Copies of this chain bind each other. A is one copy, B any other.
Amino acid sequence: MQIQITEKIQTSFAAQTMMSTLGAHLDQIERGAVSITAPILETARQQHGFAHSGMTFSLGDSAAGYAALSLMDVADEVLTAEMKINLLAPARGELMRATGRVIKPGRRLMVVSAEVHVICNGDETLVAILQGTMVPLSGPSH
């Protein structure tokens, strides 16, 4: 993958204050697949002390969005048009990892998915799956 795209994703990620609020960092960037990891902070919980679904969604949606961006032109931006999340199990653990993938690239729309796992005492549990649509926005050079 072009170094430019990797740098672009890192720069965009760093500019998302929500990601630093959640303590998230980019784990892995490949063409069409991006992983994001975050500790489940005290500040991102629901009423029973598990990770809030908003954290699960944030990581899954961002991983899917950057997976889409990894296949776009360097000047392009990406927007989530829509995203569906099914929550499979309580997000109980120390660490959350979301992996986004491009299912179908396209110039107008990119269909993406994401899986979110939680790591608890070394055991990994699938806690959510996401399926959605990203829209490429052409950059100034277009």
Contacts of A111 in B (CB 8 A): 82, 86, 88, 129
CB nearest neighbor in B for A62: B54
Choose one: B15, B22, B42, B53; the contact of A80 (CB below 8 Å): B53
CA distance A80 to B57 in the complex (A): 12
User: Range of interface residues on chain A?
Assistant: 35 or more
Nearest Cβ in chain B — how far from A79, in angstroms? 7
Nearest Cβ in chain B — how far from A5, in angstroms? 15
Write the residues of chain A forming the contact surface with B, with a CB cutoff of 8 angstroms: 12-13, 15-18, 20-22, 42-48, 52-55, 57-59, 61-62, 79-89, 103-104, 108-109, 111, 113, 126, 129, 131-133, 135
